[in-house]
Structure 1
Amino acid sequence: MSTRVLYGFHAVTVRLKTAPESIIEIHIDATRRDARMRQFAERARDAGMKIIDSDDERLGKLSGGPRHQGVVARVNALKQHHSLDELLEGVEARQIAPLVLVLDGVTDPHNLGACLRVADGAGAHAVVAPKDHAVGLNATVAKVASGAAETVPYLMVTNLARSLSEMKERGIRIIGTSDDAEQTLYDVDLSGPVALVLGAEGAGMRQLTRKTCDELISIPMAGAVESLNVSVAAGVCLYEALRQRVPKG
């Protein structure tokens, strides 16, 4: 079984809450005695975790940088869904309209982490990206995602256009975002099965991805800037979908 590193209070706490059996050991900063660290260490010990007192240098080496907040965990990788089909079948079996976020060309781990975080908050069932034009899950992604990397399936597919076509066959509308689209986010119905496709900043979606979309929408921009960061745009789109899905009254 492969292992990975999680760091930061949020990422490690979510793993401690959702899959404590997968945690091999937790390293904490031996010099920290503040209330947050005391509460975290107490919770970890109560859960039977192996706690190792470490210094800042060791924590930095384990996490790959200085932003570990004094908490680093070595964990076993969690079982992922084998395929997008398997995941969607599970969603449809619960008679829920799938909501998927598709990222085409997002290679910055901070952007991916933030996208996972808003996907979790808005109730998206998965985030999908191509294997050859995307960043994978790593410790930085997990830290920025604040635990959402543990709760939102992140599926990297070999052929994104083919995966979008397969979603269409399931009755999922593929809606891409583009600055030059005539209709806006607020002109479309997002209450049914939907996959929202966002491209990387600057380059946007690749041409084949754009052609595969059923329709294109834009996000209204009332100020001087021309576009939003991809994670902000994902949040705007996903929460509009959530707003339309929440029962009225």
Structure 2
Amino acid sequence: MKPPHGNRPGGSSHPPSDRGPYRGPGGPSSRPSGGPGHGQGGGPRGNGPGNFGQHAHQKPRPHGSAPHGGSHGGSHGGSHAGSQGAPHGSPPRDGGFKPHRDERGSRPFQPREQGGPRQAEAPKGAVWLYGHHAVAAALANPARRLRRLLLTEEAEAAIGKQLPPPWAIAPERVERARLDQLLGRDVVHQGAALLADVLAPPSLHAALEKPGVIVVLDQVTDPRNVGAIMRSAAAFGAAAVITQDRNAPEETGALAKAASGALETLPLLRAVNIARTLIALKAANVWCIGLDAAGPPLSGPAFADRRVALVLGAEGEGLRRLTRETCDEVAGLTIKGAVESLNVSAAASVALYELTRR
């Protein structure tokens, strides 16, 4: 067993700001190097190229002096939805998503789907799901409250092969043009659309009762990336995925389609504060590994005797400083060739595969 990390339970009191991409060890960097934590060998790590943080023993920047680059800067106050008030002494309590309103107080916060199609209008508390796998998985999920099922003749036959009827709701036969009008012409709906209630997020305590890696996403904003990460997490036996309730996508059709059914089988939790979530996980004896270019290559066998949380940062910018400092250690991916970095969902897949090699 490795000695406990000197950085437990904490992290800086200042808002996180520095971020780094998912480059392999030795990749180029435009920011100072260094970072907290011990490497997988158990000893302190030196300065590694490609790391965008400070050492744990360094004093953080004065409040307000760090640049806040990018378009996904979030609020870092509040408390963790699953562990408010007792991160060390008791199991995390239940929690859920709380909508935030804009400056005029008129509409709840919802990140824009980057480059994606506009979502169809749905009643409050409901979402339009589309695509064969997403719809079939929702029909098979007893926890999902179903409202309307719209299918073309071809889609009904295809979904019937995946999930033989009868289903919990009777389908309405429609033409593809009707779904194009409802969902948008750019949406790849495959002739299937299901209006259903949004799933209630489980508690962190309930997620910890399941075996497997916990995946923590620190301000990953693209719903397709979150969905793709959920698909990989389900494929490699993860226990849950945790996102931030702000600067992260809500449950949408695009997310569900990218997840290819994983949204119905893998718990998706929302936390008010990612750093406090990591503290709660560490209190539950979970070893938190931040995926960052500065770390030594990730080695699954090194964690054979540990329950692990894999922490990933925003697309292109990586882990925020406070998130990285709160992790027990950071680890990177070995990348060779002309490509110096990976998309966050691709990096998650590689890391999750490596963590199964125990």
TM-score scaled by length of structure 1: 0.85
* Percent of paired sites with the same residue: 38
Q: Does 1:166 align with 2:280?
A: yes
Distance 2:164 2:170 in 1: 8
Partner of 1:73: 194
Q: Does 1:228 align with 2:351?
A: no
Aligned residues: 232
Structure 2 SS opposite 1:168: helix
Distance 1:238 1:21 in 2: 27
Asked if structure 1 preserves the Cα contact closer than 8 Å seen for 2:216 and 2:309, the reply is: yes
* Residues 112 and 21 (structure 1), Cα distance of their counterparts in 2 relative to 1, 3 Å cut: closer
AA aligned opposite 1:185 = L
Q: Rg: which structure is higher? A: 2
Distance 1:217 1:49 in 2: 46
Q: Does 1:11 align with 2:134?
A: yes
- Residues 95-131 of structure 1 deviation map (CA, whole Å, 9 limit, x = unaligned): x4x4101111211111111001001101111111112
Gaps of 5+ in 1: 245-249
* Residues 84 and 187 (structure 1), Cα distance of their counterparts in 2 relative to 1, 3 Å cut: closer
Distance 1:214 1:103 in 2: 16
Partner of 2:159: 40
Measured on the aligned residues, the alpha-carbon RMSD in Å equals 2.2
Asked if structure 2 preserves the Cα contact closer than 8 Å seen for 1:5 and 1:62, the reply is: no
Asked if structure 1 preserves the Cα contact closer than 8 Å seen for 2:300 and 2:356, the reply is: no
Distance 2:173 2:318 in 1: 45
State the shift of 1:151 in Å: 1.1
In the TM superposition, what are the counterparts of 1:202-221 in structure 2 within 5 Å? 202-221=316-335
Distance 1:187 1:117 in 2: 20
Q: Does 1:197 align with 2:311?
A: yes
Asked if structure 2 preserves the Cα contact closer than 8 Å seen for 1:6 and 1:63, the reply is: no
* Partner of residue 150 from structure 2, selected from 19, 24, 27: 27
More strand by share: 1
AA aligned opposite 2:303 = L
Q: Does 1:186 align with 2:299?
A: yes
- Residues 59-82 of structure 1 deviation map (CA, whole Å, 9 limit, x = unaligned): 13433443100000112333331x
Asked if structure 2 preserves the Cα contact closer than 8 Å seen for 1:45 and 1:51, the reply is: no
Partner of 1:138: 252
State the shift of 1:170 in Å: 1.0
More helix by share: 1
Structure 2 SS opposite 1:185: coil
* Residues 85 and 71 (structure 1), Cα distance of their counterparts in 2 relative to 1, 3 Å cut: same
